[in-house]
Amino acid sequence: MPVLLFYIIYTHMSLVIIGTIAYDAIETPFGKTDKIVGGAATFAGLAAAYLYGQVKLIGVVGEDFGDDNLAILKSKGISLDGVQIKKGEKSFFWSGKYHNDMNSRDTLITELNVLADFDPIIPDSYQDCQYLLLGNLTPQVQITTLDRLQRKPKLVVLDTMNFWMDTAWDDLMKVLRRVDVLTINDAEARQLSGEYSLVKAADKIMELGPKYLVIKKGEHGALLFGDGEVFVAPALPLADVYDPTGAGDAFAGGFIGYLAKVGTINFNNMKNAVIFGSALASFCVEKFGVERLRELDEVGIQQRIARFAELSKFEIID
């Protein structure tokens, strides 16, 4: 039964996510938290795990990172074989305060701790990686991850931020050449390209490597460029945004999780992936940290997707 065998192998190809697994302390107009679980890989992993069964994380935490926190990820079926726990060291810690408009924030504390000399280990069990999300992290670690995979994944999605444009431009250029999709926000797209027009920015950025570009615009939705096409995704208008932390990561996780689920890469599926990413991000901001992302279910996600479809649907007959 060679056909059946092929099918079984195919559906067990994994989605690997590398990124920070961290402690955050967050202040927004709605409240203030102590150290809570955060990190790009945490948010992205939780989002992706609702859409795809084989999610595997690469990351590093300190001895201070509670087992109960790792249990949050494990309970969603996420493999943590690639997550190093450094004895006697402390986890990456970030503390920030959001302004009243929720669109800008001040970083209060950044303690790299275990992240300072993070050398990603890729377990053998991760070498079936077909979908790779290089979550927001130093570009050098993203490159090392690509180098250490024995087989080029079917799809590589890169998430990054302005900080790396400021501090690690050359490495960022190197990793950009090796990815299929880049997800960044509009200010970052402008910084990366030197173009104000996002249409021109997209053209320039796609010359740097990625075939597809997703520009995340927060409350203004997202733009997808690629294959000579453009897609404009709505954001769900929300009465309250409790905590924007991790929304971009949840977006990236939902995005690649959907593509892993459908298994075919084309512009149409990319469009849907942007909608799933947007939907997961819209949940993320409804509570602090990963609280909301922990408690989702398939029906709730389907209903949110249906709301997105309703939001931007129109039909002009004449």
The first and second tokens of residue 104, run together, are: 């800008």
Q: Is 275 in the site for a copy of itself (CB under 8 A)?
A: yes
In the complex with a copy of itself, which residue's Cβ is closer, 241 or 284? Answer: 241
In the complex with a copy of itself, which residue's Cβ is closer, 2 or 237? Answer: 237
Q: Which of 71, 108, 187, 232 binds a copy of itself (CB under 8 A)?
A: 232
Q: Which residues pair with 155 in a beta bridge?
A: 131
In the complex with a copy of itself, which residue's Cβ is closer, 176 or 202? Answer: 202
Determine the distance from the C-alpha atom of residue 172 to the mean position of all C-alpha atoms in its chain, rounded to a whole number: 17
In the complex with a copy of itself, which residue's Cβ is closer, 175 or 198? Answer: 198
Q: Which of 178, 204, 208, 231 binds a copy of itself (CB under 8 A)?
A: 231
Contact call for residues 111 and 92 (beta carbons, < 8 A): yes
Rounded CA-CA distance 127/56 in Å is 11
In the complex with a copy of itself, which residue's Cβ is closer, 68 or 318? Answer: 318
Number of neighbouring beta carbons within 10 Å of residue 195 = 16
Q: Is 97 in the site for a copy of itself (CB under 8 A)?
A: no
Rounded CA-CA distance 145/149 in Å is 7
Binding mask 235-264 for a copy of itself (x = CB under 8 A): x-xxxxx--------------------x--
Q: Is 311 in the site for a copy of itself (CB under 8 A)?
A: yes
The first and second tokens of residue 255, run together, are: 């995005």
Q: Which of residues 201-230 bind a copy of itself (CB under 8 A)?
A: 217, 219-221, 223, 230
Of 255, 239, 249, 247, nearest to 218 by C-alpha is: 247
The first and second tokens of residue 184, run together, are: 């960044």
Q: Is 161 in the site for a copy of itself (CB under 8 A)?
A: no
CA distances (Å), origin 256, targets 11, 30, 314: 15, 31, 27
Cβ at position 101, least distance to a copy of itself in Å: 6
Cβ at position 24, least distance to a copy of itself in Å: 23
Rounded CA-CA distance 286/247 in Å is 10
Phi-psi region of 226 (alpha: psi -120 to 50; beta: other; left: phi over 0): left
In the complex with a copy of itself, which residue's Cβ is closer, 126 or 283? Answer: 283
In the complex with a copy of itself, which residue's Cβ is closer, 54 or 278? Answer: 278
CA distances (Å), origin 242, targets 84, 205, 289, 293: 31, 32, 9, 13
Cβ at position 33, least distance to a copy of itself in Å: 21
Residue ranges that bind a copy of itself, judged by CB under 8 A: 100-102, 196-200, 217, 219-221, 223, 230-235, 237-241, 262, 268, 271-272, 275, 305, 309, 311-312, 314-316, 318
